[in-house]
Amino acid sequence: MSKHTHSDEKLMTAYYKAVDFFEANKKHVYTALTIIVIAVAGIIFLVNRNKANNENAGVALSQINRAYSNNDFQQAINGDSLGNIKGLQYIVDEYGSTENGQAAKLMLANCYYALRDFDKAEKYYKDFSGSNIILKASALAGEASVSEAKQKYSDAAKQYEKAASVDPANPFVDQYMFYAAKNYVRANENDKAKTIFDKIKKDYPKSKFVAESERYKALINNAN
């Protein structure tokens, strides 16, 4: 009984201490609880808003996709003349933080590249931050293509190598590797080029780029 009594006394003491603490600090406690409630509500609001924005971006993308697929790049950027179909620029500006907005950003960069506005294309390729690894590799390859167009061949080669390294399962890895090697040839960095050509033949023996790689290697050897 004495043990139970002692235990009860400790429990009651702890309880009264907690009550005293709350009474002395209830203003701070209420403030802290209010902050927590507001923070949780804010997180829920942002998640729901982001989900809604992503859905809106997806709808807008589906509407402008025909112009993009038909290589009508100016319309794909700006939308239709009546404003009923929003263009990629609008989608990126309004929903760029969403996954569908990031996909639109890559498409927008492709449009500017096709129109030879390389500075804008590079800007949006570099701005891509989506989670899709295939699109991430495509954005890096887009950066490389801009460097290639600007005759910065060594930079282009390095960027293509980065694109190839993002995901070994990407179906375009051999293509990115070949473009990297080809740009190393243009930059007169033939040893790096030959290393990649050999890797393509070893790792991707059925690739359509093997024959082209062998042709470039022959040109390099003849030049030496």
Query: Any idea what the Cα angle at residue 179 is, between residues 177 and 156, rounded to 5°?
Result: 105
Domain boundaries defined on the chain: 1-131, 141-224
pLDDT over 90, % of the chain: 67
Q: Are 56 and 33 in contact (CB under 8 A)?
A: no
What's the fold here for domain 141-224?
A: 1.25.40
Instruction: Please tell me the predicted confidence (pLDDT) of residue 42.
Output: 45
Same fold, 1-131 and 141-224: yes
Instruction: Please tell me the predicted confidence (pLDDT) of residue 222.
Output: 78
pLDDT in tens, 80-136: 878 789 999 999 999 988 999 999 999 999 999 999 999 999 999 999 999 999 999
Q: Are 98 and 50 in contact (CB under 8 A)?
A: yes
110 exposure class (CB count in 10 Å sphere: 0-12, 13-18, 19+): buried
pLDDT in tens, 131-159: 999 999 999 999 999 999 999 999 999 99
Q: Is the pLDDT of residue 64 over 70?
A: yes
State the pTM of this model: 0.77
The architecture (CATH level 2) of 1-131 comes to: Alpha Horseshoe (1.25)
User: Among 3-7, 31-35, 115-119, which range has the highest average pLDDT?
Assistant: 115-119
- Give helix then strand counts, H and E, for the chain: 10, 0
Q: Is the pLDDT of residue 2 over 70?
A: no
Instruction: Please tell me the predicted confidence (pLDDT) of residue 4.
Output: 44
